[in-house]
Amino acid sequence: MKKIQVLFVFLLSTVATDAQSLHLGNCPQPPVQEDFNVTEYMGTWYEIEKLPALFERGKCVQATYSPLADGTVRVYNAELLSNGKINSIEGVARVKDPSQPAKLGVSFFKGVPDGPYWVLATDYQSYSLVYSCSDYLRLFHIDFAWILARTRDLPEDLVSRLHDDLAAAGVNVNRLKVTNQTGCDVMI
């Protein structure tokens, strides 16, 4: 009973923050990047657009991935808050099944289950399209998506192509929010 209550409190807070990310039915299973090479994916990525996520509320949002000795990946997320402070969080990403290297799991807190991090498409050098979806009680799912880039902006036509990919995955692209990536000089 306790577990269920915790789950509902979590869900209520999520729903209250972003009702549009909750959908009936199970997660879609979009195709992911073929022959994904996690080594080539290392380094810094800047958030261009996202489906609202409650743990990211600043601007200049960026993620830096670096290889760890045990084969997992160090995740360092940073953003600039409106008060001028830099907010950061560290986590670990891992490929959970070597036969599906583009499907990673990311964990920011010890003891908390991984969140999915699926690379739907990337060329490693300019863009990446990331999708994350979790099923709850086999009744509904909550999803997140990110368009990431190696630079703080991406050409319109590329963004529009990634929108098409997301739409094909069943994501309502009208829910995407542009991340402010100007005035980010204080970020490293």
Q: Which residues form the interface with ligand NAG (CB under 6 A)?
A: 37, 39-40, 59, 180, 182-183
What is the smallest separation between the CB atom of 115 and ligand NAG, expressed in angstroms?
24
- The per-type count for the chain, helices as H runs and strands as E runs, is 3, 10
What is the smallest separation between the CB atom of 59 and ligand NAG, expressed in angstroms?
6
Beta carbon nearer to ligand NAG, 40 or 164: 40
Closest-by-Cβ residue to ligand NAG is 183
Residue in the block written with tokens 């290297």: 101
Beta carbon nearer to ligand NAG, 102 or 169: 102
What is the smallest separation between the CB atom of 40 and ligand NAG, expressed in angstroms?
5
Positive or negative torsion for Cα 5, 10, 12, 15:
negative
Q: Which residues contact 22 (CB under 8 A, 6 or more apart)?
A: 11, 14, 15, 140, 141, 142
Beta carbon nearer to ligand NAG, 5 or 182: 182
Positive or negative torsion for Cα 21, 23, 89, 64:
negative
Beta carbon nearer to ligand NAG, 23 or 59: 59
What is the smallest separation between the CB atom of 167 and ligand NAG, expressed in angstroms?
24
**Helix H or strand E segment including 95:** strand 86-95
